[in-house]
Structure 1
Amino acid sequence: MTQRILFVCLGNICRSPSAEGVVRVKAAQRGINLDLDSAGTGDWHAGEPPYGPMQNAAKARGYDLSELRARVVRVEDFGDFDLIVAMDADNMANLRRMRPEGGAEVKLFTDFAPEGSGWTEVPDPYYTRDFDGALDLVEACADGLLDALSR
């Protein structure tokens, strides 16, 4: 059975599309069949591609985000996905407020970070300007997520 996962950040132009792109590549390398998407809790960038500097950092590591387009989380997503993964506590709180009874489970991406890493959120590189640091954490969390799905 294909697992459906939605990655969520604020504007859906840096962290969540990166998570979608990284997990897509890493899942394919492991032979894990997933249906992936990403969205934002805010609508400022709906329809736009991921942020240029984020795309460039991802591309340098072999992740092509160019075909992705930002969209807003919908209540229907809680029925369409098995798992919704938030990049930070604010987005997690927004998702929990939206979540209907019986809707998809919501977790933080850093719940899948290596034990003892100390990370509780994926910092937003749109503001920190640390695109490579964000990708380092996204890659580590992606590995943890895929390990958890393989168990």
Structure 2
Amino acid sequence: MGTSTVQNPKKCLVPKGVKQLYKATSGDKGTLVTTCCIISPSGVALHPNMVFPQVHFKEHMLKGAPPGTSGLVAQSGWMNSELFARVMQHFVKVSHLAKENPSLLILGNHESHLSITALDIAKDNGVTVLTIPPYCSNCMQLLDISDFRLFQMHNTAIE
């Protein structure tokens, strides 16, 4: 999911007869930041991981992000195999997963999700990874249909 660093302006209601409306919004186009979210069927969500198109991470990049958000950087701004392995480690650590406490993780079929390192971390910690076939996420990936659609309607432009 992509999140814009510049928010869309909200609609304003004004009393009848007002001829001018002043509204402050940024003229920037902003930057599209890749956001990785993991949410369980019961609605429990891990803190998001945001991938910024930078070489070095700086703490101010997370200003205004939800508390606990992890900041990652990649020159392209896209999730890659190395970063997804870090996301998988975070998922295992926060979820207290082990082979005795198995779980199922449903992912889109992005190439970064299929890295050997990330899959080994999942296997070693009792996580079964199920990927959705390509070009089917719009109807099969439940987060795209429910949670992310609400996010898109209320907060930011998602591309």
Say which structure, 1 or 2, has more relative contact order (CA 8 Å, 6+ apart).
Answer: 1
The structure carrying a bigger helix percent of its residues is 1
Q: TM-score, normalised by structure 1?
A: 0.33
Q: TM-score, normalised by structure 2?
A: 0.32
Specify the structure having the higher radius of gyration (Cα).
Answer: 2
